[in-house]
Structure formats: structure tokens, C-alpha cells
């Protein structure tokens, strides 16, 4: 009896919710936009053709100034750069008037670009009206990138394991508690789940970099997540969540989902899963199968009409995508020649690449033959990338 009582007591202790535990975080500076913690940010900087009509430039503005429209933190403002004298001006108050803005002096730097390392100028930190402190990187190819001046980092302990974490003010509102709500106004939580000391960027399927949710899951267990608004700490507590069903009706379907319940990668052959009740947004969808050639799969990152959806407790949410696939050509005439692109769409309008993966390797793009009305073939070839 005594042994049975002890066993029941231990079982009750293991199954009981853990009390909330708070973990302190510290600020870590960052001086380049290509830092791994910044793979998921919500800012847009577009180069303008000369000085916009709506913008009042500062007195004595140089003719070779570069002008930008910056969309950030749910609002937009202009910026102007004079790279020859390493100066930049930010219309922080958004009144389209640069005449009252002070110059921010830049320092030589470098940044990773599409074609390798580029020379650049680094400006900042600059304080936005939201309270966020940001840096700006201006490259020799006229690309402007705005990123946080740093992020909050520290360690958390779950189930006897320690995980490095980082909180990023990805929406530039000066706070670190912006929870995923279906759009692009949230912050980012990074957790080094595999303990390799590296940060997986947001396109990876391990969920290490994902929108900040109300919950975080480790295996089958969920924990409520409550960061301090100033990012100085993060509080975790074991949680019991109600569940519902997500159903695609597509054999071999798989999905990667951002959610207020954490990142989820769903696979299997039935296309049906039990999920915590919450809000979900697909990062990608696809399906796979097996035939005489081997194991194949096809993935769409442009998810078409498969948008944000809710899974209700005890309910079933139907999401439809995949076959039948439709191939569309995009012919264009240039002088005496005609070229055509090709796109593949699923039944929800999701856009697939023009190739599938077979046994983990991409297959070549499809071939094409062109015939005239009498059946004579006049051309043949194969689509190419680029």
C-alpha cells in the first residue's frame, strides 16, 4: 500500500501543471542586418525615382541624393541619403518634411548581398516614434535595410533541459510582446531546440525561428509564454490546451503552420491532424506520394487562398489544396520571337514550382513541343530556370 501511494504521488506530481517560472533576458547589440536573428522582420524600404513630390527636402540637398519610402511599425516615412558625405536623414515624425531633421552620420561597413559582400554605410542607432531603436544599412547597390539595434537573449529551462532563446522586436513597435494574430504585426521568438548553438532562419522546418505565440510546445507538451513588454524577461508555465481537428482530405498532404500555439509541421498520409485550438497561418503546403519512379513531393510557398484559419475546440476545420493541378503558360512576344514562362497551380490557387522532388532531388523542368494546326511540330525544348 505504501509503495502504491508513493507511485501515485509521483505520478500526480509529474502530471501537475508547473508553476510559472520567469527567466531574465539581456540586450545584445547587432550591427548588421544579416544577423541570423533577423531573418524574419517586417520592414520595407523602396528606392524612389528622385525626390518625391510630397516630400520637402532639406535646404542645400545634394542632387545625387537617394530617396526611400520606408514602411515600418504600421506606418511609413521618407528617408534621404547622401552617400558621398556619409549622411542620412530620417523623417521620423512622418510629416514629409526633412528640413527639420538632423543628419545621422554613417560609418563604413560591409553587408552580404545577392552577389556576395557589398560595401555599405552603417547609420544609427536611430530612435523611432514607437520607441524602437534601429540601425540602417545602405549598400553600394542602393539597397537600404532597417533592422533593430539588437535583441533580447538568455536561457530558459524546460523539462530539465536548457535552451538559448532570443526575442526580436520584429514589428518595430518598441515592445517585445507582440503575439501572432494572423498578420504581420507580431514579434519573433527564437529557441535553439536542437542545442547546436546556431539559429535556424525562418524558412527552416524546425520552428526555431517563428512568430511569438501565446504558447510554445516541446514535443507533446505546451507552455504559456508571457514576455515582459520591455523584453527584460520571459515567463513560462505548463498549459493544458483544448484541441480540434484540421482536415485536408488529401492523402500525403503536409503543411508548415505559424500559430499562436507555436510552430507546427504536419505530415503523414491521411491529411488529418489533431491540433490545439487556436489561430493558424500556412507557411507552406504540399503533398507527396510514391510511384514506380520513387518517392516524390511538391511544395508551394505561395499558398494562394489557403490563408489564416482557426481551429475550434472540439470542431473540425477543413482546408483544401493540392491536385488537380493546372499548368498555365505565360507567352510574351519580343520582336520576332515568343517566349513563355510556366506556372503550376493547385485547386486553392497555391503556386507550385515547375518541378517536383524525387527521392529528395529536384527533377528537371518539363519539356515542351510546339505544333501547328496540321500537326507539324515546329519547335521543341525544355523550360529553364531564371
Last residue of a domain, one of 297, 318, 339: 318
Q: Is residue 69 part of a domain?
A: yes
Domain span at residue 295 reads 243-318
Q: pLDDT value at position 383?
A: 62
Which tens digit of pLDDT belongs to each residue from 79-91? 999 999 999 999 9
Does residue 160 sit in the same domain as residue 123? no
**256 pLDDT higher than 90:** yes
Rounded distance between C-alpha atoms, residue 101 and residue 386, angstroms:
43
Does residue 142 sit in the same domain as residue 156? no
Q: Is residue 360 part of a domain?
A: no
Rounded distance between C-alpha atoms, residue 196 and residue 239, angstroms:
27
Rounded distance between C-alpha atoms, residue 260 and residue 361, angstroms:
33
CA distances to 31, 374, 378 from 371, in Å: 57, 8, 6
Q: What is the dihedral of CA 157, 159, 164, 169, to 10 degrees?
A: -80
Does residue 140 sit in the same domain as residue 77? yes
Query: Comparing 179-188, 298-307, 373-382, which segment has the lowest mean pLDDT?
Result: 373-382
Q: Residue 375 is placed in which grid cell?
A: 500537326
Last residue of a domain, one of 292, 318, 344: 318
Residue 381 pLDDT class (50, 70, 90 cuts): low
Q: pLDDT value at position 329?
A: 76
**384 pLDDT higher than 90:** no
Q: Is residue 314 part of a domain?
A: yes
Q: pLDDT value at position 17?
A: 42
Q: Is residue 343 part of a domain?
A: no
Cβ-Cβ contacts under 8 Å for 255 (sequence gap 6 or more): 248, 264, 265, 266, 282, 284, 285, 286, 319
**188 pLDDT higher than 80:** yes
Does residue 93 sit in the same domain as residue 40? yes
Does residue 182 sit in the same domain as residue 270? no
pTM confidence score: 0.84
Does residue 96 sit in the same domain as residue 200? no
* Nearest in space to 169 (alpha carbons), one of 119, 120, 133: 133
Does residue 195 sit in the same domain as residue 213? yes
Q: pLDDT value at position 342?
A: 78
Does residue 137 sit in the same domain as residue 204? no
Q: Is residue 333 part of a domain?
A: no
**Average pLDDT value for the chain:** 88
Q: How far apart are the first and last CA of the chain?
A: 74
Does residue 43 sit in the same domain as residue 132? yes
Does residue 188 sit in the same domain as residue 116? no
Residue 66 pLDDT class (50, 70, 90 cuts): very high
Does residue 158 sit in the same domain as residue 145? no
Which tens digit of pLDDT belongs to each residue from 241-253? 999 999 999 999 9
Q: How many domains does the chain have?
A: 3
Last residue of a domain, one of 272, 294, 318: 318
Q: Residue 218 is placed in which grid cell?
A: 516541446
Rounded distance between C-alpha atoms, residue 172 and residue 151, angstroms:
11
Q: Is 347 exposed, middle or buried (0-12, 13-18, 19+ CB in 10 A)?
A: middle
Does an H or E element contain 239, and which?
A: strand 233-239
Amino acid at each position: 500500500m505504501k509503495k502504491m501511494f508513493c507511485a501515485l504521488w509521483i505520478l500526480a506530481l509529474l502530471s501537475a501543471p508547473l508553476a510559472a517560472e520567469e527567466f531574465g533576458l539581456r540586450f545584445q547589440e547587432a550591427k548588421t542586418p544579416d544577423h541570423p536573428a533577423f531573418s524574419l522582420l517586417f520592414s520595407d524600404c523602396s528606392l524612389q525615382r528622385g525626390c518625391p513630390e510630397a516630400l520637402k527636402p532639406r535646404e542645400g540637398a545634394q542632387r545625387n541624393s537617394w530617396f526611400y519610402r520606408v514602411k515600418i511599425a504600421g506606418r511609413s516615412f521618407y528617408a534621404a541619403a547622401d552617400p558621398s558625405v556619409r549622411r542620412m536623414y530620417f523623417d521620423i515624425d512622418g510629416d514629409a518634411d526633412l528640413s527639420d531633421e538632423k543628419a545621422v552620420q554613417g560609418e563604413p561597413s560591409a553587408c552580404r548581398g545577392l552577389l556576395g559582400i557589398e560595401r555599405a554605410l552603417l547609420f544609427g542607432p536611430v530612435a523611432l516614434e514607437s520607441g524602437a531603436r534601429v540601425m540602417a544599412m545602405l549598400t553600394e547597390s542602393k539597397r537600404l535595410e532597417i533592422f533593430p539595434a539588437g535583441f533580447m537573449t538568455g536561457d530558459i529551462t524546460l523539462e530539465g533541459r536548457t535552451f538559448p532563446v532570443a526575442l526580436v522586436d520584429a514589428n518595430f513597435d518598441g515592445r517585445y510582446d507582440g503575439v501572432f494574430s494572423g498578420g504581420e504585426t507580431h514579434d519573433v521568438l527564437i529557441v535553439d531546440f536542437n542545442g547546436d548553438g546556431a539559429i535556424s532562419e525562418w524558412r527552416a522546418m524546425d520552428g526555431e525561428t517563428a512568430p511569438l505565440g501565446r504558447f510554445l510546445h516541446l514535443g507533446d507538451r505546451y507552455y504559456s509564454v508571457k514576455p515582459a513588454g520591455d523584453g527584460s524577461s520571459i515567463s513560462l508555465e505548463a498549459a493544458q490546451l483544448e484541441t480540434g481537428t484540421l482536415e485536408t482530405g488529401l492523402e500525403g498532404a503536409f503543411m508548415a503552420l505559424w500559430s499562436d500555439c507555436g510552430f507546427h509541421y504536419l505530415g503523414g498520409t491521411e491529411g488529418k491532424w489533431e491540433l490545439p485550438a487556436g489561430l493558424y497561418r500556412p507557411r507552406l503546403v504540399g503533398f507527396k506520394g510514391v510511384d514506380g519512379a520513387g518517392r516524390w513531393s511538391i511544395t508551394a510557398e505561395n499558398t494562394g487562398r489557403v490563408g489564416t484559419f482557426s481551429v475550434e475546440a472540439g470542431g473540425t476545420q477543413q482546408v483544401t489544396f493540392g491536385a488537380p493541378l493546372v499548368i498555365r503558360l505565360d507567352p510574351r512576344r519580343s520582336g520576332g520571337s515568343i517566349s513563355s514562362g510556366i506556372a503550376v497551380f493547385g485547386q486553392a490557387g497555391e503556386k507550385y514550382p515547375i518541378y517536383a522532388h524525387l527521392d529528395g532531388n529536384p527533377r528537371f523542368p518539363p519539356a515542351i513541343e510546339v505544333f501547328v494546326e496540321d500537326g507539324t511540330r515546329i519547335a521543341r525544348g525544355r523550360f529553364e530556370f531564371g
